[in-house]
Structure 1
């Protein structure tokens, strides 16, 4: 299993909307994530900074990377672009984090 973490940013006035949209995650989005090796996925919000901390466990880096090319992922990004920082292609501005400590 591969552990990944990243940081994104949601606009301050859209914290509740971000949560609502994820509470109503499209079934086809969940299916795509699972088909692309997602085992576990959590997103945490720091309301003081508007930062989102995403943590996920995947089975395969190459398979996971292909999830960004799916139609449902592109639709999700377009759906989310009005409430968070995104690139020109609607993908979220995201900074991957490096694991520096782990205790199992």
Structure 2
């Protein structure tokens, strides 16, 4: 099981809207995430920064490619654009991977 972490910035005054949209995440978006092998997914915030963590049952490369190839993810990203800024990695088309610096099992 590979782990993946990402971060993004929420636009000023948009944190509650960001939370609301995730409280009502589209069923088809959940399906894409599950089909990408993503589990144990959580998002945390500190001020206007959000940090996401998930585990990839089929590997990070598979999860990135599956999401990048999904029109549902494209639609979700467009839907979220007015509340957050997330720069995507041009090499993968997915969120840039944060580098792990410590792990305690």
Q: TM-score over 0.5 for the alignment?
A: yes
Give TM-score, length-normalised by structure 2: 0.85
Instruction: Indicate the residue corresponding to 1:84 in structure 2.
Output: 84
1:4-52 Cα offsets, whole Å, 9 max, x none, are: 11111111210000000000000000011000110121111111xx111
**Structure 1: unaligned runs, 5 residues or longer:** none
Instruction: Indicate the residue corresponding to 1:97 in structure 2.
Output: 98
Task: Output aligned runs, 1:2-41, within 5 Å.
Answer: 2-41=2-41
RMSD across aligned C-alpha pairs, in angstroms?
1.8
1:35-84 Cα offsets, whole Å, 9 max, x none, are: 0110121111111xx11111111121232112122010011001000111
**Structure 2: unaligned runs, 5 residues or longer:** 89-93
Instruction: Indicate the residue corresponding to 1:56 in structure 2.
Output: 54
Q: Secondary structure at the match of 2:76?
A: helix
Q: CA deviation at 1:94?
A: 4.7
Is contact 2:10-2:50 (8 Å) kept?
Answer: yes
Give me the whole-angstrom Cα distance separating, in 2, the residues matched to 1:40 and 1:22: 15
Give me the whole-angstrom Cα distance separating, in 2, the residues matched to 1:94 and 1:4: 10
Structure 1 runs of 4+ off > 2 angstroms?
Answer: 93-96
